[in-house]
Structure 1
Amino acid sequence: MPDTPPDTIAYGRLMHRAMRGLIQTVLQDVADHGLPGEHHFFVTFDTRHPEADLAPWLIDRYPEEMTIVIQHWYDGLEVDDEGFSITLNFGDNPESLRIPFDAILTFVDPSVEFGLRFETRGAKSDDPEDDPPPPDGDERRTRADDTAEPPAVRDAEVVSLDRFRKPH
């Protein structure tokens, strides 16, 4: 993302940093005290991120992005300022993963219908016309004030939970 001119407040970048800080705080609390009640997380991340560390067979299987579930069985959750490490079970094979906060694409806690999606801007322009349209049913709202925000300044947003729901 290009540098923000000195006479402009980088709301998108500030919100992005704040929401990643929220995830860090939540995961640190889980590392310290365990998952409370029915809480559980779906975390989708970019497996191509240079600081993501996962087994080669997982990279082969998920060459672009991967969604993990932190719920019933996990071990060794460690959180720091840059990301988190966790061991998860993949078909009776425990695997350690290192996920930088900057690699997270979505963070969802379906037990309380909370979710964030982080837009990756990389090589994209800041022109809203270049952004893809939001998915159907997408809520372009923040939990803080529940007002719509223009897509051009968004780096994080509340996501629709429909894709994580099990069919009845």
Structure 2
Amino acid sequence: MDRRVKKTRTAFRQALFALLDHKPIDEISVSELCRQAGVTRRTFYIHYDQVSDIFSDYQEDMAEQVTHAIHAGKMDPDSLLTIFDQILMANFKAFRYLCQHPQQSDLIPQLTQMLVETFASQLIAGRPAASQQLILQYAAAGLINAYVYWFDHESTIDYGTVVKTNRKLLASTLAQLS
């Protein structure tokens, strides 16, 4: 991607995330977004049709980051969880918004499925049996749902507790694979 295009899209994303702190995406106008980004409406329409397209574009980029990171090589569950946590924290505002507004997101089911596939490829030789597939689905959905729960209860649960608990739960769940 051209450097100027990347810079413009980054400006739109940053503006969108700043505005999302104060209002839902469906209440953000193109004019308001452009003012926040310091970019003209004409430039906006060169790249996007509507405000929600910025978020869709961002979801695709985040999914690519996760896919690239978790397919980097053979890893154990702890390493996979560490990578997932790093990506989450690097994309904190967007991920929190997705978790708190699941109707806006295709990313959560997509991340869950990516985790299932990654766990299967990294932890099971060959095609998983039906019971193993169920365990993998349970582990991935539980991991994602733990973050969703945390974002709704940030004032009562600290991030360290989430990470520590996820490690324990993931290890005990994946131990059922054998």
Specify if TM > 0.5: no
Larger-gyration structure (1/2): 2
User: What TM-score does the superposition give when structure 2 sets the normalisation length?
Assistant: 0.28
Which structure features the higher share of strand residues? Answer: 1
